Amino acid sequence: MHRALGFGLLSVFLFAGCSRAPAPGSDTPGGPPNTIAADPAPLWTLKDLDGKPVSLADFRGKVVVLDFWATWCPPCVAEIPHFIELQKEYQDKGVTIIGASVDTAIPADIAKFAKDNGMNYLIVMADDKMATDYGADEGVPITFVIDSKGNIIARHIAYTEKNVIEDDIKKALAE
């Protein structure tokens, strides 16, 4: 029940546009927009669309692009082709794309949506704690780039162009 209430409130908040602008001063001073100091990524263990447990720790040593999204969010859906392309291009270079769905729909419905949209990357079902830990309870899409040591090196709030995320991936791979 708590999950339904939390994401119900999230849905109401986001109805006006899916995402919010970053709060003034929320970015690293002097850095490019939406970059942040390298902080450890909050750990999580969630279920994928087949009900199997997946943990952020499973990807230690890899660069992870973690995207919070929803099927009902137009900017989220508009980013999907970016993540499909990035997964194809970088999966053999130590990069994993993970979509964390904040949808309240059942996983089978999300799986159908993912298949219909050609999503070739891992999808997990976000819970209230994960969404809160990452700030995704305030709006989606929100995307994090996590380096191979498990540190968040970039955060992008709202729709983000592919080349911006790709630049973060290249930076993480170069470290």
Task: Report the CATH number at residue 87.
Answer: 3.40.30.10
H or E element, residue 114: helix 107-116
In the beta sheet, which residues pair with residue 46?
54
Rounded to an integer, the average pLDDT of 38-60 is 94
Rounded to an integer, the average pLDDT of 11-38 is 41
Number of folded domains that form the chain: 1
Rounded to an integer, the average pLDDT of 92-104 is 96
Half-sphere exposure of residue 160, counting CA atoms within 13 Å on the CB side? 29
List C-alpha distances in Å: 36 to 39, 50, 63, 113, 118: 8, 33, 16, 32, 31
Q: Quick one: what percent of the chain has pLDDT higher than 90?
A: 73
In this prediction, residue 35 carries a pLDDT of: 47
The long-range contacts involving 23-30, CB below 8 angstroms and separated by at least 24 positions, are: none
Q: Quick one: what percent of the chain has pLDDT higher than 70?
A: 78
Range of the domain at 95: 2-174
Rounded to an integer, the average pLDDT of 79-92 is 98
64 three-class SS: strand
Q: pTM above the 0.85 mark?
A: no
In this prediction, residue 157 carries a pLDDT of: 94
Q: Which residues contact 81 (CB under 8 A, 6 or more apart)?
A: 162
